[in-house]
Structure 1
Amino acid sequence: MQYYYGNQMPLRVLDEAEFWKHQEEEHTVVIRELVPNLEQQYVQDLKEWEKEFAKTHQRVVRYIETVNRSNGQVSQKLYQDILQLVSYCLEQSDQFINFCRKLMEESEPISSNPTAKVVLNHIIVESEYFIGVAQTILYQSKI
């Protein structure tokens, strides 16, 4: 986490969301590349996840730009919008974790590939880390 924001909590949490949404987007590619014989439905699902993470990432970037342009004067409305976006990001990560667990349970090429299972577990841990960091920042700032 980049702590140079001081008391600018909106930027801190947006910075985390920006980084992790990009990571999760890349993770969809990693899974597809690691398991070239993955069932077609899961390949399509991962491509959809990739698109959704890219959209969320871009939304976060727009909010970062808005906060930066506000010269430290974040309105209550903007603050509430940031809260909603972060809540969405957390829920999206939680759903992705569930999808990854489903992959490990239901996909034959993954269940027979020990490396894929290790990587998927690592991806799950990283998404869980984002959820924990974002929740901590939000709770500390009493948002």
Structure 2
Amino acid sequence: MQFYYGPQMPLRILDEAEFWKHQEEEHTVVIRELVTGLEPEYVEALFEWEKALSNTHQQVVSFIESVVRSGYYIPVQLYQQVLQLVTFCLEESERFIELCRQIKNDSAVVANNQTAVVVLDHIIRESEYFIGIARALLTSR
């Protein structure tokens, strides 16, 4: 992501969050569908994560709509709320990565499925990419 958006930066980071939260939501489905016989505790955790990520995605969409309706003038209070949401998104992605690593390292079914290991590593890298973008924004304010 480029950082020359100036006053549009909060909208730009919301666009990124919207995309990546949707990706993470879809990744819960990919893992469940790819790993036949995945342990029930991981299947349940992935269903719960799918719901949580969907809720976050919807919150981000709502904030995007608020910023657009504000005529791209972002009042201080809204800007602070955007930063809080981005912080939440970052922390949520860190927790999602923890689950992915736990599945990768502790699931007996995944241990015997090299494709699943590769896919989980890819999913983890994608979430880490979003975390990097979010951290860059939060430290540049």
TM-score range, shorter chain: over 0.9
User: Aligned runs of 1:71-110 on 2, under 5 Å?
Assistant: 71-110=71-110
How far apart, CA to CA, are the structure 2 residues paired with 1:139 and 1:40?
A: 39
Structure 1 pair 69/4, CA: closer, same or farther in 2 (3 Å)?
A: farther
State the partner residue of 1:120. 120
State the partner residue of 1:52. 52
Offset from partner CA, 1:44-102 (integer Å, 9 cap, x none): 10000000000000000000000000012211111111111000000000001011111
Unaligned residue ranges in structure 2 (runs of 5+):
none
Q: CA deviation at 1:3?
A: 7.8
| Letter in structure 2 aligned against 1:100 | C
Cα RMSD after superposing both structures: 1.5
Tell me, yes or no, if the aligned pair for 2:111 and 2:117 is still in contact at 8 Å.
Answer: yes
How far apart, CA to CA, are the structure 2 residues paired with 1:53 and 1:102?
A: 18
How far apart, CA to CA, are the structure 2 residues paired with 1:91 and 1:139?
A: 15
* Structure 2 length-normalised TM: 0.94
Unaligned residue ranges in structure 1 (runs of 5+):
none
* Structure 1 length-normalised TM: 0.93
Identity over aligned pairs, percent: 60
Count of equivalent residues: 141
State the partner residue of 1:35. 35
Tell me, yes or no, if the aligned pair for 2:3 and 2:9 is still in contact at 8 Å.
Answer: no
Offset from partner CA, 1:8-36 (integer Å, 9 cap, x none): 11101100100000000000000000002
| Letter in structure 2 aligned against 1:80 | Q
> Match of 2:7, SS?
coil
